[in-house]
Structure 1
Amino acid sequence: MSFFPENTSRLFIDGELRASSGGTYPVLDPSNGEEIGHAADATEDETSAAVAAARRAFDTTDWSRDHALRARCLRQLREAIDARLEEIREFTIAEVGAEHFLTTGPQLEGPVQGLDYWAELVEGFEWVTDLGTADVMGLSSRREVRREAAGVVAAITPWNFPHQINFAKIGPALAAGCTVVLKPAPDTPWCAAMLGELAGATDLPPGVLNIVTSSRNEIGAQLTRDPGVDLVSFTGSTATGKAIMRTAADSLKRVFLELGGKSASIVLDDADLGSACMMTAVNASMHAGQGCALTTRLLVPRERLDEAIELTTAALAGLAPGDPRDPGTMCGPIISARQRDRIAEYVELARAEGGTIECGGAPPEDKTSGYWFTPTLISGLDPSSRVAQEEIFGPVLVILAHDGDQHAIDIANDSPYGLSGAVWGSDPARIEYVVNSVRTGTLGVNGAQWYGVDVPFGGFKQSGIGREMGIEGFAEYLETKAVGTPG
């Protein structure tokens, strides 16, 4: 496998693969804890060089104005990835612990195919809107509105769905005409680093795309401060998002933030309880619960609480953690020992808050290496408890009782987050009322999926600012300019 280890242990700056003067750091396979290679550990000077290259490419080339070139490069990048898709799938599973079945969707193939969407959008977008001629203070003037690239983008991405989030940022940013410095999470650097080699198969001008991997989160903070950066696009924790906003305020940088979630799956009293409990259990457990939009609160009618606990416990029992390379595995490993221990701490907190661990609650006994946690159901908590309010980022589902539709809505909305959710029922009018009342950026009805490259993704409240993907996500990387000429 040619990506191991040389080409994934280099930085990509100004069109060149280069070794880092900061050396390298180890990359681990979370399914067994073993070292599988190394990644370049970028220094502050190298990060500054990446920003300078992006700045130069934006300011001195036609990249931002050459729509045809951008569309061509995006398609070339997709083709280069397709040619090595199985190779990339293999190391994605190894590095991320991503389940094989998810790599056929949002963990790989979905976002890669989405590059065609961004290319088509470049070609069909209305870059100039003619507002016609008007008499303005005695002068006949023709007005138009132009959409232009925002500038240099610092894209800072997390470890849980790296391909999805990397491409959800660089796809629209490059399509819009921006230049990019991509800084991936320390745990999953290869999913970003591989783009450096693949960029060589495209017509991307030097400096348009730069990739700096690092073991230190301080490199992300440096990008946020750098005066050469015009826009910061960040996905991660709400706490870090707030810090980015504070730092970016000094230079009034634009920020896009996709942050945390504690999404509710609302089961109405006329719903198919078995399907709702099964699907919510699967949703909370896939990728070991390491997804901000996964539903981790299950709200059921109080009179059916015991039945729902029984059904959900049975469903979770069939989702035992397994080898992510097995196409049948739904729940893979936890990304790191630190994250596994954090999940365990929340389970202990649930006990202290008066909760009952209905199933799971610990690493599986048959896994002696790597980082794992058994899908867990917790009952008996107050909706205001920390475990029912805070994002755990593990396969932990909290079940709560409600006393009717409005009470369920109130519980769902009683959260600092508003990222995703679900509703289950059979009365269309009641379902519509819930959909209109829950303050969340995405929501699925009776198991239907909202995900797609053409669908805007983001949240209300402390789940973020702005939208990623779709036309709305494309607009995040554009500026608006109004021009008047003699009419």
Structure 2
Amino acid sequence: MEPLPTANLFIEGVSRPAQNGKLFDNISPWTGEVVGQAAEATAADIEHAISAARKAFDETDWSRNHTARHQAVTRFVEQLEQHREQLVTIARVEVGAGVGAANLFQVQGALDGARDLVNAFASVTWQESRGVREFMGSNTERVVTREALGVVGAITPWNVPLYINVGKVIAALLAGCTVVLKPAPDTPLMGAIMGELAALAELPAGVFNVITSSDPAMAGEMLTADPRVDVISFTGSTAVGRRIMAAGSVTLKRVFLELGGKSARIILDDADDFPMAVMSSIAVFHAGQGCALPTRLLVPKSRYQEAIECLSLAYQGFEEMWGDFDNPENIMGPVISKRQQERVMGYIQCGLDEGANLLHGGNRRPDKGTGFFIEPTCFIDVTNDMRIAQEEIFGPVLVVIPFEDDEDAIRIANESIYGLGGYVVSGDLERGKYVANRIRAGAISVNGGMSIIGDLPFGGFKQSGMGREWGPEGICEFTDLKSIAWSVV
């Protein structure tokens, strides 16, 4: 495994080290070893990034010159596309993605989404006439304008960093905002590379800035507390989201949160190919490290034993299809870190303590390498009140829950503090859509439909967050409306 380049800060158009020259280690999940280093931003560096973003918003025409801005962001997206292979390498080495996952959702999904946002820009209405209205004996001409919110602090996680970085940064820039991106400590290079590509795209200085730090909280706390930052857009855990919302309330910031999930996949008894629907439900893509991945599998009691048999076959068949760094078909590698490995193993023990039974897996896999490997794991005999059914594990762990009928399935799916994604499989499309409409979540797939894609809004209900990313709605989240009226004869 070749070493990765150093992740530098990118502030006011310049890629540079931290002011004190300090670095922190970038650890590959595949080996648990150092594969690169990243700049350890100081408080002064973060202050510089905020000042640069504020200056670029207040003192340039970035927010007002829609044509020039769209052209600049288009160049930025083109640079991302031209450096696709470099991005795939970072996703494999730094993020721990299998080759299949790195090529698909990790990178190509991000690039497709970036292009979708660039194309969605044309559908945003920046000024709309509301006509003349007579009021109290005089006529008034009115327009409604859409304006950028200001400086955005974008705080992103480690699981699909390029995809989430792009969803926030490209949308905010298209809206006319300026951005300070703070990537997760586990994946600093996927943020830093965006700074380097922004320079190649000749984005104006200060419009986009990147700060990296091994401290998971300092930079985010500074962004959230600083009155010069108008918006915080955060993707991560619900617990941290609560803290950001509370801290942002002091300055009444606009806060967008995309938080945890415990999405249910409901397979109804009339599914056209019930065995295949069940077998394709194993929680293995990117080791289950996705907030909207379905980690609760709901199957009818009348076909419960059949479902268990199908899952057993699926997991046995997958045994040699994961954990190989060089296999282009692998979609599952290690979890991101030793800390995450311990967390997931703790939940597996919790499931056993709660009385659930392991159908498959449940172990570390040191035979796969020196990194943070956990084998694909499936619990049966699960009830929806167990912690493993209610809490986000963020690992390759599936729980299987039986239901009586459609209403019972809907009840179980909704019996959660989360509401991010949902999945329904039925041989009757209208039946499937009825169930989908009853699930309280932001993105629902019926019979394999793509409900999470770059031209559709994405976000959660309940404690899965607030606000929407992607599509024209994702751009408009970073804007506000202003009414202007003038007297006419």
Shorter chain as normaliser: what TM range?
Answer: over 0.9
Q: Is the 8 A contact 1:70 1:119 kept in 2?
A: no
- Comparing 228-237 and 445-454, the one that deviates more: 445-454
Q: Is the 8 A contact 2:56 2:205 kept in 1?
A: yes
> 2:56 maps to what in 1?
57
Letter in 2 for 1:55: R
- Comparing 183-192 and 448-457, the one that deviates more: 448-457
Q: Is the 8 A contact 1:158 1:235 kept in 2?
A: yes
Identity of aligned residues (%): 46
Shift of 1:200: 1.7
C-alpha separation in 1, matches of 2:289 and 2:214: 20
Distance change (3 Å), C-alpha of 1:306 and 1:439? same
Superposed counterparts of 1:79-118, under 5 Å:
79-118=78-117
C-alpha separation in 1, matches of 2:4 and 2:392: 34
Q: Does 1:464 align with 2:465?
A: yes
> 2:233 maps to what in 1?
233
Unaligned runs of 5+ in 2: none
C-alpha separation in 2, matches of 1:124 and 1:416: 34
> 2:315 maps to what in 1?
316
> 1:38 maps to what in 2?
37
- Comparing 364-373 and 334-343, the one that deviates more: 364-373
Equivalent of 1:17 in 3, 9, 15: 15
Superposed counterparts of 1:143-162, under 5 Å:
143-162=142-161
- Comparing 112-121 and 453-462, the one that deviates more: 112-121
> 1:258 maps to what in 2?
258
TM-score, length-scaled by structure 2 = 0.96
Letter in 1 for 2:388: V
> 1:179 maps to what in 2?
178
C-alpha separation in 2, matches of 1:210 and 1:3: 25
Q: Aligned with 1:200: secondary structure?
A: helix
C-alpha separation in 1, matches of 2:85 and 2:397: 31
CA deviation profile, 1:29-62 (whole Å, cap 9, x unmatched): 1111121110111111111110110000000000
Superposed counterparts of 1:443-458, under 5 Å:
443-458=444-459
- Comparing 218-227 and 140-149, the one that deviates more: 218-227
Q: Aligned with 1:415: secondary structure?
A: coil
CA deviation profile, 1:15-38 (whole Å, cap 9, x unmatched): 111110341100011111121110
CA deviation profile, 1:156-204 (whole Å, cap 9, x unmatched): 0000000100000001100000000000000001001012221221231
C-alpha separation in 2, matches of 1:276 and 1:85: 33
- Comparing 433-442 and 156-165, the one that deviates more: 433-442
Shift of 1:106: 2.4
C-alpha separation in 1, matches of 2:383 and 2:123: 51
C-alpha separation in 1, matches of 2:199 and 2:443: 37
Superposed counterparts of 1:274-313, under 5 Å:
274-281=275-282, 284-313=283-312
Superposed counterparts of 1:376-455, under 5 Å:
376-455=377-456
C-alpha separation in 2, matches of 1:84 and 1:423: 37
Distance change (3 Å), C-alpha of 1:251 and 1:386? same
CA deviation profile, 1:266-286 (whole Å, cap 9, x unmatched): 1111113212212211xx210
C-alpha separation in 1, matches of 2:266 and 2:257: 26
Letter in 1 for 2:10: F
Give the length in aligned residue pairs.
Answer: 483
Distance change (3 Å), C-alpha of 1:365 and 1:44? closer
Q: Is the 8 A contact 2:9 2:15 kept in 1?
A: yes
Letter in 2 for 1:322: G
- Comparing 425-434 and 286-295, the one that deviates more: 425-434
C-alpha separation in 1, matches of 2:269 and 2:119: 44
C-alpha separation in 2, matches of 1:365 and 1:193: 31
Q: Aligned with 1:266: secondary structure?
A: strand
Shift of 1:365: 4.9
Shift of 1:305: 1.2
Letter in 1 for 2:265: S
Letter in 2 for 1:171: I
Q: Is the 8 A contact 1:27 1:36 kept in 2?
A: yes
Q: Is the 8 A contact 1:27 1:95 kept in 2?
A: yes
Q: Aligned with 2:106: secondary structure?
A: coil
> 1:75 maps to what in 2?
74
Superposed counterparts of 1:128-147, under 5 Å:
128-147=127-146
Q: Is the 8 A contact 2:366 2:373 kept in 1?
A: no
C-alpha separation in 1, matches of 2:286 and 2:118: 30
C-alpha separation in 2, matches of 1:384 and 1:19: 49
C-alpha separation in 1, matches of 2:38 and 2:306: 49
> 1:223 maps to what in 2?
223
Q: Is the 8 A contact 1:71 1:123 kept in 2?
A: no
Distance change (3 Å), C-alpha of 1:84 and 1:368? closer
Q: Is the 8 A contact 1:383 1:389 kept in 2?
A: yes
- Comparing 68-77 and 333-342, the one that deviates more: 68-77
C-alpha separation in 2, matches of 1:383 and 1:124: 42
C-alpha separation in 1, matches of 2:122 and 2:10: 28
Shift of 1:77: 1.2
C-alpha separation in 1, matches of 2:388 and 2:340: 16
Letter in 2 for 1:334: V
> 1:372 maps to what in 2?
373
C-alpha separation in 2, matches of 1:4 and 1:402: 48
Letter in 2 for 1:260: G
Shift of 1:453: 0.9
CA deviation profile, 1:75-107 (whole Å, cap 9, x unmatched): 211222233221221122100011222233321
Shift of 1:123: 4.0
Distance change (3 Å), C-alpha of 1:157 and 1:135? same
> 1:481 maps to what in 2?
482
Shift of 1:3: 9.4
C-alpha separation in 1, matches of 2:18 and 2:359: 49
> 1:163 maps to what in 2?
162
- Comparing 322-331 and 440-449, the one that deviates more: 322-331
Letter in 2 for 1:348: Q
> 2:121 maps to what in 1?
122
Q: Is the 8 A contact 2:179 2:208 kept in 1?
A: yes
> 2:363 maps to what in 1?
362
Q: Is the 8 A contact 1:67 1:123 kept in 2?
A: no
C-alpha separation in 2, matches of 1:365 and 1:15: 43
